[in-house]
Homo-oligomer: A and B are copies of this chain.
């Protein structure tokens, strides 16, 4: 709740016009939350920041499959999540979620943050990654090399063969057992990075510090991008492309995001779950960005997993579009 407060205050300050409206809710089966939405701000066309703390008697089968020790036990879960849809197409959409579960003998942390630009800039991307890397490094300098590729793997639209955006960090089922990567692709970069780190066993305290540090990294990772881009003029072309690309956000959340699908199929609070969907979206059959356009730069370079810090060819690729800074 502290993180939710801090983030909302920071966002209201930079928006200067929009205010978050809060709705508190209770879950009949146990627990509740507070949903906060800003609509039609100056910077944010829509933004939602949710907190929830819920409990129940038996976790759903999909989670029990991952954590069989939780079977037959009461459970407790708490988390903060956020999606922001800015109006200006030069400011990226951004998502954050950090969560903690307990069930009988087991507990775990999960979460992450990822950035989804429309007209990307290399230095904005690097900044977002750098601040999140520092947050991970503050707990253990080996973590980021697993959580960065795990994010690339999770926020991926298989039916488009595209990343959702430029990524960030993601982790799940962090239970102190020393296995950092618990994803679904044993041959992927996150798994390979994790195999080299089998001795990195994190305590509950370290994992709590991690979630805290990453949550606190959000404002410094994102506000400077807003400051830099918010006065950049755009026309109907950029707005149309933004609305079109927002369709990808909807496709990811409704087709691939396990949390969203699970929530919808198991009687979750629909309005809070779907707060992540953009306020206005466009689909266009057979759209293709012109070759060598600013729009094509997004899918040619920025929605593919990249080594943002060390790949020096990225600058060459971005320079013709003035997309470094």
Interfacial residues, chain A to chain B (CB-CB below 8 A): 23, 35, 37, 39, 46, 48, 158-160, 243, 247, 250-251, 254-255, 261, 264-265, 267-268, 270-271, 273-275, 277-286
Majority secondary structure of chain A interface residues (helix, strand, loop or mixed) = mixed
B residues in contact with A46, CB < 8 Å: 285
Q: Which residues on B sit within 8 Å (CB–CB) of A271?
A: 285-286
Cβ contacts under 8 Å, A264 to chain B: 158-159, 255
- Given known A283-B274, A283-B278, contact A265–B39 (CB-CB < 8 A): no
> Bound state CA distance, A309 and B283, in angstroms?
36
Contact (Cβ within 8 A) A23 B286: yes
State the CA gap A243–B274 with chains docked (Å).
16
The answer on a CB contact under 8 Å between A265 and B37 is: no
> In this complex, what residue of B is CB-closest to A158?
B265
Copies of this protein in the complex: 2
Within 8 Å by CB of A247, from B273, B275, B277, B285, lies B277
List of B residues within 8 angstroms of A247 by Cβ:
277
Interface CB pairs A-B, < 8 A, 27 = A37-B286, A39-B285, A46-B285, A48-B285, A159-B264, A159-B267, A159-B270, A159-B273, A160-B270, A247-B277, A250-B250, A250-B254, A251-B254, A251-B274, A254-B254, A254-B255, A271-B285, A271-B286, A274-B285, A275-B285, A279-B283, A279-B284, A280-B280, A280-B281, A280-B282, A281-B281, A281-B282
Residues of B within 8 A of A251 (CB): 254, 274
CA A134 to CA B283, docked complex, whole Å: 35
How long is the Cα–Cα vector from A279 to B265 in the complex, in angstroms? 26
Residue of B nearest to A251 (CB): B254
- Bound CA–CA A246/B219 (angstroms): 34
Q: Provide the residues of chain B in CB contact with A39, threshold 8 Å.
A: 284-285
Chain B residues lying within 8 Å of A277, measured Cβ to Cβ, are 247, 283
Q: Which of chain B's residues have a CB closer than 8 A to the CB of A261?
A: 255
A275 CB to closest chain B CB, in angstroms? 5
Q: What's the minimum C-beta distance from A19 to chain B, rounded to whole angstroms? A: 14
CB distance from A170 to the nearest CB of B (A): 21
Measured between C-beta atoms, what is the minimum distance from A288 to chain B in Å?
10
Taken together as a complex, chains A and B put the C-alpha atoms of A99 and B71 apart, in Å, by 43
Please report the C-alpha to C-alpha distance between residue A270 and residue B46 in the assembled complex, in whole angstroms: 28
Q: How far is the CB of A267 from chain B (nearest CB, A)?
A: 8
Chain B residues, CB < 8 A from A279: 282-284
Most chain B beta-carbon neighbours within 10 Å: one of A247, A265, A284: A284
